[in-house]
Structure 1
Amino acid sequence: MDNLGIDPRELESAFSLFTEASNQLSLAYADLQQQVVSLTDQLEIANGNLRRELDEKAALSRRLSLLLQRLPGGVVELNEHGVVVEFNPAAGLMMKSLCLGAVWQQYITEHLQASNGPDLWLSQTENGERRISIMVNDMPNEHGKIMLIHDVSDMWELQRALTQHKRLAAMGEMTAGLAHQLRTPLATALLYSAHLAKPELSDQDRQKFGQKNLARLRHLEVLIQNMLSFVRGQDVPLESVNLLGLLNEAQQMMLPQLSSHQISCVLNVSSGADTLAVSANRKELLGCVTNLLDNAMLASKKGDIIQLSLTLNEGMAEVNVEDQGCGMSVEVQERLFEPFFTTKKDGTGLGLAIVSNLLTRLGGEIGVNSNLGAGSSFTIRLPVLYCPTKV
């Protein structure tokens, strides 16, 4: 050993260091093995939890899919381009020829027709014509839309029957009022006719009584027509009606009468309201507006200004007719929309009742705000036309 020049103490020291390093490596390896076991256990637990979550989500997906298939209401999903990407069997039954990949705008144009009331549409099905309700909802965090379809044909028929029964009940209550309304102009017409039968009557007086008699008979005709309109309440075809165009037409129709009374009518349209449209029968809705304008004119005096306004408020189109006339008491306002209630000498008392009934059928309403000596303000509120071609 001396010949090799190695100090035994150095060799012993090196061996000790090697032994210590070997022990440290053994300990590190054992610790590493323990960590591997722990991580393996944690991974197995995580995988188990993940498998359970996947199984639960798969089960939920199956249940939702089954629920979607069994739902009596229709569900249609549109992508961001307005293309049908999914629909359930109920939607297919309620909307004939609906298919995946169909462009909703084109489908609406070809297969659906606007019905009476907001969001109601006529659809041709295997069981004939049905009324369906279409509600559109945005999908959270998505660009598409979900459309909920309900067949409301039976409910609509029940509501129609109930409305008719209410009208008949109201008609029974109005019989006494109707008799009075008819008796007065009829008695006057008979009196004028009796004068016409006198042989000694001059031609001038005969012409005067003849004109008065004709006026009374025409008043009777208007009263009977209004009564029939109120009682029948028949459905008429609805269409998309641009309110600005309708108000312009009403203003022009009333212009000759307003000018003769030296009364002005100013049309005010709020920002963005010029394109507002509602689902209504144009002729009937025009009659409502001209009725309010005529009432405002009769309540106004020479030099007054009638304000005709169009605004959009909380998804409802509002048409307001405001005058500077004599106003009304609270008692009059409470009875204003009752059939045969009138404050006019020659009024039938049915004009505002017909207006109120019509607006109710269209899903709208009419309100009044008035103070004696401070004028009156009538407001028509109608739901803005839902247009599924824009989804």
Structure 2
Amino acid sequence: MEQSLQTMNPKELEEAFTLFTEASRQLSNAYAELQRDVASLTEQLAVANGHLKKQYEEKAVLSRRLSLLLEKLPAGVLEVNSAGEIVSCNQRGFELLGAVALGSKWQNVLSDRLKLVESDVWQFGDVGESGYVRIEQVQVPEEGVELVLLHDVTTTIQMRAELERQGRLAAMGQMAAGLAHQLRTPLAAALLYTGHLQRPELRDEDRLKFAAKTNERLGRLEVLVQNMLQFVRGTPQQISTVNLVDVIHEAVSEVRSIYEPKGLRLTADVPQLFAMVAANHKELSGAIMNLLENACQASVVDGEVLCRLIGSDASWQLEVVDYGEGIAADVLPRLFEPFFTTKKGGTGLGLAIVRNMVKAYGGEVTVTSAPKMGSNFKICLPRLPDGTNVLEQD
């Protein structure tokens, strides 16, 4: 080494030291710059950590608030994972569903603890302590979970039931008032005639006359009571397979014998075939007679009432048409309401009974009318295939 230094040119040695000094200076500058960068990054990192800490604290506060809010919500909230398992549930959810174990299958809980009572309303709890919930399911595809919301609608259902009960009570009161009003006149007349029958000096022919009048008034009372019971019942007592053609001829013949002597014409446009429907023969005949009588009473002298039957693949349509006074537009919407009548002395139950009965047969009754243009009542009933036999049922 010493030999190598002795043989090195002093100028080369000076240049080497100069290069070494320059490299040392550059290294020192680079180190100083690095220290400055490290200090700056340390400062920036401290600031970023401060922001992150602040954000974390804010999110922690928000999370606590959301957790408290979730626990205080009046609705139950369940989180269900992609496997259909309940992974979380708030306090209200546990109150509505009972002691549900996390990890349970939501569909099993739904089928075991809830009972569907309406399209979107489920009943929960034991008999006497039950309630009702409406279920809403919200998908969260980003997280692969589903949120199930249980809205407690027990109060709403109870209020609705109470309103329906009050409505029924009001209808019963109105019905009782209407029945009392309708019974009073024939009952008073029957009592009067019965009193005459008790007179010892009454002649036999007068006794028979008063007895007949008493029977007539009692028959009127029986009809009123039967109409009221039929309206309250709302459903036919015995349903069997009947031929609508026979029922129509029977009803037309009965009404024709009363109104044709008064100058009215009843025409039956009914094909000679089998028009089979599921109905009660007596009640259906009474309904058709009711429509025919209404049409006759609305017709003018020498007027015509038409009863016709039209068939389709799915139903039979019976039409009762008159060309009389027609029905005012403001009356049409109320025509089938119980106790609503435009007739003097009418009960307002005839058309209501017809509507309830036809509805019980799975059909519908409608009306179109215009003042001075007459009216058209239509009864539409489901068609039974020929040869169908419906067993009578109570």
Q: TM-score, normalised by structure 1?
A: 0.49
Higher RCO, 1 or 2 (CA under 8 Å, sep at least 6)? 1
Q: TM-score, normalised by structure 2?
A: 0.49
Larger Rg: 2
